[in-house]
């Protein structure tokens, strides 16, 4: 049985951000990667809520709050770095990004996305990935990557109805 994901429980969200940045610093140090100030700031912005954030949303915050004149390609390069190194996931249906809860190891993402508030909860269920790979193999298909996006209502939005 799954425990209730932290995104759907009341919690100190600054702890999520701090933890994610610490993990990113450690991962980059271990792998000899350069977590530039801009990459780190983009990761921080992505983690500031459990809602996926688009590149242009990030760009707007960078110019409004930080006074940076970052161009879209700069933000996309930072997001590409974070994606390539497992620090964020891309939610295709929303064309947005969300912080990865488990950057310490490679895995396929499964997400529960609230259609009302757009909160996204990452699951990491190997059995789901294994089932997809097995079904694909049965029809002669080789899976190169997978992201499962399930749309519904989070507990908070269910209670508000």
Q: What is the per-residue pLDDT across 24-82, written as a single tens digit (0 to 9) for each?
A: 999 999 999 999 999 999 999 999 977 899 999 999 999 888 777 888 999 999 999 99
Q: Domain boundary residue among 62, 84, 101?
A: 101
| Bridge partners (DSSP) listed for residue 96 | 91
Q: Please indicate, yes or no, whether residues 91 and 63 belong to a single structural domain of this protein.
A: yes
Sign of CA dihedral 117, 121, 127, 130: positive
pTM of the model: 0.83
Residue 2 lies in a domain: no
| Rounded-to-integer distance, Cα 103 and Cα 31, Å | 12
Place 152 in a pLDDT band, splitting at 50, 70 and 90. very high
**Minimum mean pLDDT range among 67-76, 77-86, 131-140, 145-154:** 67-76
- Is residue 28 a known part of a binding site? no
Q: Please indicate, yes or no, whether residues 72 and 142 belong to a single structural domain of this protein.
A: no
Q: What CATH number did the domain enclosing 157 receive?
A: 3.30.1490.190
Quick check: 2 pLDDT over 50? no
Q: Please indicate, yes or no, whether residues 66 and 112 belong to a single structural domain of this protein.
A: no
What pLDDT, on the 0 to 100 scale, is given for residue 13?
A: 66
72 is in which domain, residue-wise? Answer: 11-101
Q: Please indicate, yes or no, whether residues 17 and 93 belong to a single structural domain of this protein.
A: yes
Which stretches of the chain are assigned E, i.e. beta strand?
A: 88-91, 96-99, 109-114, 120-123, 147-152
- Is residue 154 a known part of a binding site? yes
Q: Please indicate, yes or no, whether residues 92 and 114 belong to a single structural domain of this protein.
A: no
| Rounded-to-integer distance, Cα 125 and Cα 122, Å | 10
- Is residue 157 a known part of a binding site? yes
Q: What CATH number did the domain enclosing 19 receive?
A: 1.10.10.10
Q: How many domains does the chain have?
A: 2
């Amino acid at each position: 049985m799954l425990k209730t994901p932290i995104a759907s429980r009341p919690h100190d969200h600054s702890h999520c951000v701090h933890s994610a940045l610490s993990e990113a610093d450690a991962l980059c140090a271990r792998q000899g990667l350069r977590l530039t100030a801009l990459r780190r700031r983009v990761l921080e912005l992505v983690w500031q809520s459990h809602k996926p954030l688009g590149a242009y949303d990030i760009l707007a915050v960078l110019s409004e709050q930080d006074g940076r004149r970052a161009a879209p390609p700069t933000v996309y390069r930072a997001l590409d770095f974070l994606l390539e190194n497992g620090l964020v996931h891309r939610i295709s249906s929303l064309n947005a990004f969300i912080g990865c809860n488990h950057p310490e190891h490679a895995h396929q993402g499964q997400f529960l996305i609230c259609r009302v508030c757009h909160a996204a909860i990452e699951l990491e269920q190997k059995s789901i990935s294994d089932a997809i790979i097995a079904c694909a193999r049965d029809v002669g298909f080789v899976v190169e990557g997978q992201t499962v996006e399930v749309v519904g209502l989070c507990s908070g939005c269910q209670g508000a109805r």
